[in-house]
Homo-oligomer: A and B are copies of this chain.
Amino acid sequence: MQVTPTAFDADAARRGAALRGRIRSGEIDRHTSGLADDLVQGNLVVLPAAEAHEFLLYCQRNPRPCPLIAVGEAGEYGLPTLGTDIDLRTDLPRYRVWRNGELVDEPTEVGELWRDDLVAFVIGCSFSFEWAMRSEGIAVRHIDEGRNVPMYRTSIATHAAGSFGGPLVVSMRPLIAADAIRAVQITARFPAVHGAPVHLGDPAQIGIADLGRPDYGDAVTVRPGELPVFWACGVTPQAALQRARPAFCITHAPGSMLITDLLNHQLASN
Q: Is the CB of B196 within 8 A of A177?
A: no
Q: Is the CB of A198 within 8 A of B227?
A: no
**Nearest-CB residue, chain B, relative to A180:** B200
Q: Is the CB of A181 within 8 A of B201?
A: no
User: In this assembly, does A270 line the interface, its C-beta being within 8 Å of a C-beta of chain B?
Assistant: yes
How many copies the complex holds: the figure is: 2
Q: Which residues of B contact A178 (CB under 8 A)?
A: 198-199
Name the distance in Å between A194's Cβ and chain B's nearest Cβ: 13
Name the distance in Å between A46's Cβ and chain B's nearest Cβ: 33
CA distance A197 to B183 in the complex (A): 12
**Nearest-CB residue, chain B, relative to A195:** B185
CA distance A201 to B224 in the complex (A): 13
Q: Is the CB of A185 within 8 A of B181?
A: no
Instruction: Bits for A183-208, please: 1 = Cβ < 8 Å to B, else 0.
Output: 01100100000001111111001000
User: In this assembly, does A225 line the interface, its C-beta being within 8 Å of a C-beta of chain B?
Assistant: yes
Instruction: Bits for A86-98, please: 1 = Cβ < 8 Å to B, else 0.
Output: 0000000000000
Instruction: Bits for A202-225, please: 1 = Cβ < 8 Å to B, else 0.
Output: 100100000000000000000001
Q: Which residues of B contact A202 (CB under 8 A)?
A: 177, 225
**Nearest-CB residue, chain B, relative to A185:** B188
Contact of A196 among B181, B200, B270 (CB under 8 A): B181
- Give the size range of A's interface with the partner: 10 to 19
Q: Is the CB of B177 within 8 A of A201?
A: yes
Q: Which residues of B contact A205 (CB under 8 A)?
A: 177, 225
Name the distance in Å between A227's Cβ and chain B's nearest Cβ: 5
Q: Which residues of B contact A181 (CB under 8 A)?
A: 184, 196-200
Name the distance in Å between A185's Cβ and chain B's nearest Cβ: 5
Q: Which residues of B contact A200 (CB under 8 A)?
A: 177, 180-181, 200, 227
Instruction: Bits for A106-134, please: 1 = Cβ < 8 Å to B, else 0.
Output: 00000000000000000000000000000
Q: Is the CB of B227 within 8 A of A201?
A: yes
CA distance A188 to B185 in the complex (A): 7
Contact of A184 among B184, B225, B227 (CB under 8 A): B184
Contact of A185 among B185, B199, B227 (CB under 8 A): B185
Tell me the chain A residues, 136-182 only, with Cβ under 8 Å from chain B: 177-178, 180-182
Q: Which residues of B contact A180 (CB under 8 A)?
A: 200
**Nearest-CB residue, chain B, relative to A184:** B184
CA distance A196 to B188 in the complex (A): 13
> 8 extra interchain contacts, Cβ-Cβ under 8 A, other than A177-B200, A202-B225?
A177-B199, A177-B202, A177-B205, A181-B198, A185-B188, A201-B201, A201-B227, A205-B225
